[in-house]
Amino acid sequence: MTETYIVTGGAGFIGSHIAEHLLRRGNHVRIVDNFATGKRENLAGLADYAASGALELHEVSITDKDALDRIFAGADYVFHQAALPSVPRSVADPLTSNEIGVTGTLNVLLAARDAGVKRVAYAASSSAYGDVEGEYKTEDMVPNPQSPYAVAKLAGEYYCKTFTKVYGLETVALRYFNVFGPRQDETSQYSAVIPRFVAAMSQGKPPTIYGDGTQSRDFTYIDNVVHGNLLAITAPDAAGEMMNLATGGRISLLDLVGKINTLLGTDITPVFAEPRKGDIKHSRAGTDKARDLLDFAPIVDFDTGLARTVEWFLKR
Ligand SMILES: NC(=O)c1ccc[n+]([C@@H]2O[C@H](COP(=O)([O-])OP(=O)(O)OC[C@H]3O[C@@H](n4cnc5c(N)ncnc54)[C@H](O)[C@@H]3O)[C@@H](O)[C@H]2O)c1
């Protein structure tokens, strides 16, 4: 049966991959995006779906509740990806980060509740853990956000859980850990590390590492995140739950530079700068909860994902 999915932030990196996957499976998709950081070229490959009516693009902010009510009417599921996803941006402008991340998320949940959607999957963030001790970040740890961005993402999680309890709206919050892959923006000072490094190094320029480069991340290839979202939207025991969505791996920024050098056939040395406010040292996910509740396991490993990402950047 054809189902109708809302993807907020669907013109962004992660949202556009989710939308593409849903369309390829024969569903209807309504994207809600105001193009704050999203790009039209992320949707360029979906023009045929737009022409056939399977894809609707609504250029609207999630702060506009009336518009969300109109767009959500008759929808089955919501993937809520819209946000201003950047720690330094939130440090510079916490009010906007809160308006989109907290008030915007509340609007999305209210519109989903009022439209009677079956479930909302929410893009939560590993930044909620902040600098909690322990090599693996597990869902039972008390969050310790270190930036306005992390606070806003965490508030969104709490709203999700509360909507399940109070209104019976099924929600699942997925804490993503450093997602990467094709279409990720590399052009802004707020861009994530992998696209920035690949873009710089593929032009023969040194990447800038903030800190000494021993900091590490559980870099998660985009296909794994799409896969986890699709499992989360129907998994029988997941409603009202929050869980990590990651690989459980750990790559330092120095290792990352080495791997990109290998893929590009270069020998570029990074430059080092002062650590940035709000950044954390290590981030690695415990993955048991997603395995138990979603039957999730990564479908693409880090090296394969990085090779695909580098290839995409070189071909653009
Ligand atoms: N990329 C990661 O590593 C990562 C990690 C943890 C969590 N997340 C979360 O995943 C989600 C997607 O992130 P992404 O990496 O694809 O970023 P992105 O910037 O590519 O996508 C975000 C999208 O949201 C849209 N948006 C922003 N404000 C909006 C508003 N007011 N109304 C409607 N749309 C709006 C943007 O235009 C953009 O298309 C975000 O919620 C982010 O917090 C991402």
Ligand 1 centroid distance, CA of 309 (Å): 19
Catalytic option among 5, 49, 129, 149: 149
Ligand 1 centroid distance, CA of 177 (Å): 13
Residue 162 resides in a domain:
yes
- What does the chain come to in residues? 316
pLDDT digits (tens, 9 = 90+) for 70-83: 999 999 999 999 99
pLDDT at position 1, please?
72
Domains in the chain: how many in total?
Answer: 1
Residue 308 resides in a domain:
no
Could you tell me if 55 and 46 are in contact, meaning their C-beta atoms sit under 8 angstroms apart?
Answer: yes
CATH number of the domain that residue 122 is part of:
3.40.50.720
Residue 39 resides in a domain:
yes
φ, ψ at 283 (rounded to 5°): -145, 110
For the chain, percent of residues with pLDDT exceeding 70: 100
pLDDT at 175 over 80: yes
Residue 213 resides in a domain:
no
pLDDT at position 187, please?
86
Q: Look at 6-15, 80-89, 225-234, 252-261 and tell me which has the smallest mean pLDDT.
A: 80-89
Ligand 1 centroid distance, CA of 66 (Å): 21
For the chain, percent of residues with pLDDT exceeding 90: 92
CA distance 267 to 164: 51
Residue 263 resides in a domain:
no
Pocket of ligand 1 (CB under 6 A): 8-9, 11-15, 32-38, 61-63, 81-85, 100, 104, 123, 125, 153, 176, 178-179, 185, 192
Residue 78 resides in a domain:
yes
pLDDT at position 48, please?
98
pLDDT interval class at 311 (50, 70, 90): very high
Nearest alpha carbon, ligand 1 atom 11: 81
Residue 190 designated active-site: no
pLDDT interval class at 62 (50, 70, 90): very high
Which atom of ligand 1 is the closest one to the Cα of 15?
Answer: 16
Residue 166 resides in a domain:
yes
Range of the domain at 12: 4-178+222-247+286-300
Residue 142 resides in a domain:
yes
pLDDT digits (tens, 9 = 90+) for 229-239: 999 999 999 99
Report the predicted TM-score, pTM, of the whole model to 2 decimal places. Answer: 0.97
For residue 131, which amino acid is it?
D
Instruction: Return the exposure string of 145-164: e unless at least 16 CB atoms fall within 10 Å of the residue's CB, then b.
Output: bbbbbbbbbbbbbbbbbebb
φ, ψ at 206 (rounded to 5°): -75, 140
Which pair of tokens denotes residue 148? Answer: 């306005």
C-alpha angle 44-45-48 in degrees, rounded to nearest 5:
100
